[in-house]
């Protein structure tokens, strides 16, 4: 799928990995719709880029808001050809402790945002892409989801986050198979420890410890590196049904 001239929807696109992806797609000539629960940040990013960038408020857990974002993306020049979901949240709590069992509501919330929210974007974006005319090779679009290496190496306290990201990993291949005859590809990126706003609030000592655990390069990942992989997936037609770890060979320890 050519990025230049295509319409792209980036959900969770106002900060972190999503913002870097928006910037990369815009640089490569896409018309980008930034969908984010933080409307002010999305508007500010769109305004800083130029006339091929637009913004809309969207909560991934709200089917109506996601449907509105997808409808707006369909109106972009080139139509909706690229959908990337970076929206997600975290929560740390053990399954049970001397204080009792883990609270159920936070677990449900993480699953609702990370897993159900991702599926919500995927199902609606894919349906819109099926309306597109295929390219010469028969392709109509590409959907990229964001998991985490926590899907494979979940640490102590990551039960909710790991379950949600594991679900995203698990639906990658069946989604690709479901959509194959429509010419829509589906891939997932599973990043390791990246220098995002989530980690920015940690003390420098903790940040350095996280970086030192990565075999090579011994540093936190850069959002621009996530964006570069997303851009490559868009352009590389043979990448389909894959979950790609982007982690510098990191395998997370139990804690």
Question: Per the residue annotation, which of 26, 91, 107, 161 is the catalytic one?
Answer: 161
- Provide the 10 A C-beta neighbour count for residue 133: 7
The residue extents of the domains of the chain are 7-246
- For 7-246, CATH gives 3.40.50.720
Average pLDDT rounded to a whole number, residues 33-38: 98
Average pLDDT rounded to a whole number, residues 104-127: 98
Instruction: pLDDT band for 203, please (50, 70, 90 cuts).
Output: confident
pTM listed for this prediction: 0.96
Q: What separation in angstroms does the CA of 168 have from each of 59, 119, 206, 210? A: 18, 8, 28, 24
248 in helix, strand or coil? Answer: coil
Q: Is 26 known to be catalytic?
A: no
Instruction: pLDDT band for 208, please (50, 70, 90 cuts).
Output: confident
Share of the chain above pLDDT 90, in %: 91
Instruction: pLDDT band for 71, please (50, 70, 90 cuts).
Output: very high
């Amino acid at each position: 799928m050519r990025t230049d001239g295509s319409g792209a929807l980036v959900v969770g696109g106002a900060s972190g990995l999503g913002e870097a992806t928006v910037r990369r797609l815009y640089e490569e000539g896409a018309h980008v719709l930034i969908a984010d629960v933080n409307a002010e940040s999305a508007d500010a990013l769109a305004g800083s880029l130029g006339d091929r960038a637009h913004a809309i408020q969207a909560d991934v857990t709200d089917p109506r808001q996601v449907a509105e974002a997808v409808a707006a993306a369909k109106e972009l020049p080139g139509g909706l050809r690229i959908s990337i979901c970076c929206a997600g949240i975290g929560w740390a709590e053990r399954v049970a402790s001397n204080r009792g069992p883990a609270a159920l509501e936070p677990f449900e919330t993480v699953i609702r945002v990370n897993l159900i929210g991702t599926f919500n974007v995927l199902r609606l974006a894919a349906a819109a892409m099926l309306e597109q005319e295929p390219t010469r090779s028969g392709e109509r679009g590409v959907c990229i989801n964001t998991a985490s290496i926590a899907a494979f190496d979940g640490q102590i306290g990551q039960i909710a986050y790991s379950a949600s990201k594991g679900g995203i990993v698990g639906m990658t291949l069946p989604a690709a198979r479901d959509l194959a005859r429509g010419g829509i590809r589906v891939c997932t990126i599973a990043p390791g420890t990246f220098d995002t706003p989530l980690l920015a609030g940690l003390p420098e000592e903790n940040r350095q410890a996280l970086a030192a655990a990565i075999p090579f390069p011994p540093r936190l990942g850069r959002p621009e590196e996530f964006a570069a992989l997303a851009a490559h997936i868009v352009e590389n037609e043979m990448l389909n049904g894959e979950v790609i770890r982007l982690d510098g060979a990191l395998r997370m320890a139990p804690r």
